[in-house]
Structure 1
Amino acid sequence: MKILAIESSCDEFSISIIDDGKILTNIISSQIEQHVNFGGVVPELAARLHLENISWVIKAALDTTNTKVETIDYVAYTEKPGLIGSLIIGRLVAETIASYINKPLMPLHHIEGHIYGASIENEFIYPVLAMVVSGGHTQIEIVNSPNDFKVVGTTLDDAIGECYDKVARVIGLEYPGGPKLDKLAKEGNQTAFKFPISKNDESYDFSYSGLKTAVINLIHNLNQKNEEIPVADIAASFQYAATKIVETKLAKAIEEFKPKTLTVAGGVSANSEIRKIIIELGQKYGISNTFVPKMEYCTDNAAMIAKLAYEKLKISK
């Protein structure tokens, strides 16, 4: 069973081919350099660049695997959520290929794909407790099968990745600021500033707007006093507050839902502190099937959509 998958929800256009569960290729066209000058993703530009890159991405995916498009059995694509223009382009490409080869089309969910991206080189034992951390989402999900996802907690305002990027911008780091802030935090003192650990309650929901505002206010106050901005200490203190609540909520969820697999998904799953928290929680609670995704599967990519499609088809047989 060979599946061609397309991911185009934001500023990456990616095509992957999976054959009986093995990823054959995962071609990604990234646009980071084109969006740097704007300090973030410009939706109209992202869609336009997808159009420019479609041809070579498709050709590279087929050529690197010596695959003839007629041998594809299913065409999967990201249906939602994401930037509307980018999603439409991915859908049109998928519909065109599926129509040309007369094969079934599979519209899939971006976040579900991220979760299954973590299982590309691992196997889920259900139930799975997945921490979704990205630029647009912060969620705790229970996964009982490729068709059974339950969101038990979500952010009420900013997502963790969005908060990272906004704080990074304020302390002078270029977009994408999250990875740079993570690196800078290693040089600072996480106890230098006491930022609020927001939504520290009995729910599984998250809130990051207060933390973002606290950091911005601190920097404004230091600027007004003409004091030096200790960026490394601010980064370290921010990262502690941003990730400590993840650890707290996940520990509570582990105790309640007793998962057999613990993992993390989304762009911020590349964050060193988040990855450390997942592994340590797995060890603390004796969850032997605990893992984090390979770095190449953290950000948006079509391999995660291909894996989700494969797992769904496998249980439908």
Structure 2
Amino acid sequence: MKILAIESSCDELSLAILDDGKVLTNIISSQIKDHQKFGGVVPELAARLHLENIEWVIKSALKEADLSINEIELVAYTKNPGLIGSLIVGKIIAETIGAYLEVPIMGCHHILGHIYGASIEEDFVYPVLAMVVSGGHTQIQLLRSVDDYEIIGQTQDDAIGECYDKVARYLKLEYPGGPIIDKLAQTGNPDEFKLPIPKTENEFDFSYSGLKTACTNLINKYNQNNEEINKADFAASFQKTAVQTICEKFEKAVIKYQPKTITVAGGVSANSLIRQKVVEIGKNNKIEHIIIPKLEYCTDNGAMIGKFAQEKINISKKLI
């Protein structure tokens, strides 16, 4: 089945075309430069730019896939969660194409899309334990099938990506801060600054607001004393603590649930330390399938939505 998949939940408009799960094209229109001057995503601007860019995104995808629009058999789109204006734009695009072609449309969950995006080049062997790390969501999910999953742990406040961006802003780094902190951290001393890891009631939950507050207070203290903080050392110390906060809980979940596959998904899954730690956790616990997504499938993209839609179709066929 040829699926046209649309991802428009935030500041990236992406359109992918998949043929029986194989990615033929994955076009991404990024708005990072448009939002940088504001220090973060402006929802109204994101939705408007989606509308402005949709024509060339569709044309580019069809050209790269070497397909006619009439060959599409299903249109998938991100239904939720996300910025409401951006989601509405994606839904309208999907409904319009679906109505024109007289083919069905499928609304997909953004977070599950991220998880299944990790399986584009290597299929999951269930059960799967997934660490979801992004700018808006941070969770540990247990999946027994595409229709049987549960959140066993999640942040009680800030998402890890949100924490990265806010700390980067206090360090006067550009938006998005996550990749810059990751790069800086590789040249710094991760033991220079001692930062807190909050305790939570649920053994698999975690928190990032305390870490964010501790970082901003420390940076403010340096500023008030007219002292220059070593940004590389601070970035390394922050990253060590931020990653440890979730990875400790993730490993506990691996030990308890004994999954056959572990994976990491979401925009922050591009982080070098997180990728390293997930592999270490898998090897230490003799997990047979350790799936680390290609960098192109870490950020929001249409291919992940198309892959999720294909998995939903596959399981529905099994039930017939």
Report the TM-score, using the length of structure 2 for normalisation: 0.98
2:183 pairs with 1:183: yes
One-letter amino acid of the counterpart of residue 129, structure 2: L
Pair 1:118-2:114 in alignment: no
1:226 and 1:49 mapped to 2: Cα distance? 41
Counterparts of residues 238-253 of structure 1 (less than 5 Å): 238-253=238-253
Q: Equivalent residues in 2 for 1:1-317 (5 A)?
A: 1-199=1-199, 203-317=203-317
Amino acid at match of 2:271: N
- Alpha-carbon distance between aligned partners in 2 of 1:75 and 1:288, rounded to the nearest angstrom: 34
Identity across the alignment (%): 63
Gap change, CA 1:109 and 1:91, over 3 Å in 2: same
CA deviation string 1:182-234 (max 9, x = no partner)? 11011111111110012366521121011000010001111111112111111
| Contact map agreement 1:138 1:206 (CA 8 A) in 2 | no
CA contact (8 A) 1:195 1:241 kept: yes
CA contact 1:5–1:302 (8 Å) conserved in 2: yes
Q: What letter is aligned with 2:253?
A: A
**C-alpha RMSD over aligned residues:** 0.9
Would the aligned equivalents of 1:200 and 1:245 in 2 still touch at CA under 8 Å? no
- In the TM superposition, residue 63 of structure 1 has moved relative to its aligned partner by 1.3
Q: How many pairs are equivalent?
A: 317
**Structure 2 SS opposite 1:38:** coil
Secondary structure of 2:25 counterpart: strand
User: Match of 1:173, as an amino acid?
Assistant: L
Partners of 1:64 and 1:181 in 2: CA distance: 34
Matched residue type, 1:70: N
Residue identity opposite 2:184 in structure 1 = L
Determine the C-alpha separation between the residues in 2 that align with 1:216 and 1:164. 12
d(CA) in 1 for partners of 2:301, 2:150: 23
Unaligned runs of 5+ in 1: none
Cα offset for 1:47? 0.5
- Judged with a 3 Å threshold, the aligned counterparts in structure 2 of structure 1 residues 277 and 201 are, in CA distance, closer, same or farther, namely farther
Contact 2:153/2:202, CA 8 A, preserved across alignment: no
